[in-house]
Amino acid sequence: MTAHQPPGESRPGGRTARTRQAVMAAVFEELGSGGYASLTMEKVAQRSGVHLATLYRRWRSVEGVVCELLTELSAEVPLPDTGTLPGDLRTLARSIAAFYADGRMQSMIEAVVSAAARDPQAATVLRDFFDARLKLAGLMVRRAVERGEVPADTDPEDVMSALGAPFYYRILIARRPVDPALAESTATAVWAAVRAGAYAPKGGTPPGDG
């Protein structure tokens, strides 16, 4: 996982790509320096060397830049393939915990959620972000169905939503640190619920358990 490095370092050349890379790196550094509360487009422009008008033309607001950065960094959280669903759940939960252990990542999700409550564009970005992540992570559940580990009608996105929910509750509602213990307890609880058929509409049970 490379979420702690400024994004875009290996992207192809071109003026647009270089501009985007400079802006994303500047936002990441500014979040580390002063957090989201002190982040402004003026500071991003100064740190990145990109003209302020360019920032507003392409991203419209600080929230727009943060949304894009969050999407990019989150894509770097690897999708595990350990050979078993409980192993995959545990590995992914640990990766999520490591991702949000960085205060800059917490600042980003807080900013995007706050913006989504006010700005339809930010709301769309946030929804698309979670839809894409849920669909991708759902591959773990589909593999488990093929292996006969879980009920055939287990809903992959429901499982992944249950895995992610405790982290966002901890960050956005309880406002407490994300730690490895949360990852372990969440993965254990979700696996138990999957095995019980909690995410299978027909209440099915895995082969061999009936």
Q: Where are the domains of the chain?
A: 15-59, 71-195
Q: What is the mean pLDDT of the chain?
A: 85
Tell which wins on pLDDT, 121 or 198. Answer: 198
Contacts of 77 (CB under 8 A, 6+ apart): 1, 3, 92, 95, 96, 99
Residues 85-129: tens digit of each pLDDT: 999 999 999 999 999 988 888 888 887 788 788 878 778 878 888
Q: What share of the chain is helix, strand, coil (3-state, %, to 5)?
A: 70, 0, 30
Q: How confident is the model at residue 8 (pLDDT cuts 50, 70, 90)?
A: very low
Q: Pick the range with the lowest mean pLDDT from 6-10, 14-18, 106-110, 166-170.
A: 6-10
Q: Span 71-195: which CATH code?
A: 1.10.357.10
Please check the confidence at residue 12 and state whether its pLDDT lies above 60.
no
Q: How confident is the model at residue 206 (pLDDT cuts 50, 70, 90)?
A: low
Q: Which CATH number fits domain 15-59: 1.10.10.10, 1.10.10.60, 1.10.275.10, 3.40.630.190?
A: 1.10.10.60
* Cβ pair 167, 97 in contact under 8 A: yes
Q: What is the pTM of this model?
A: 0.76
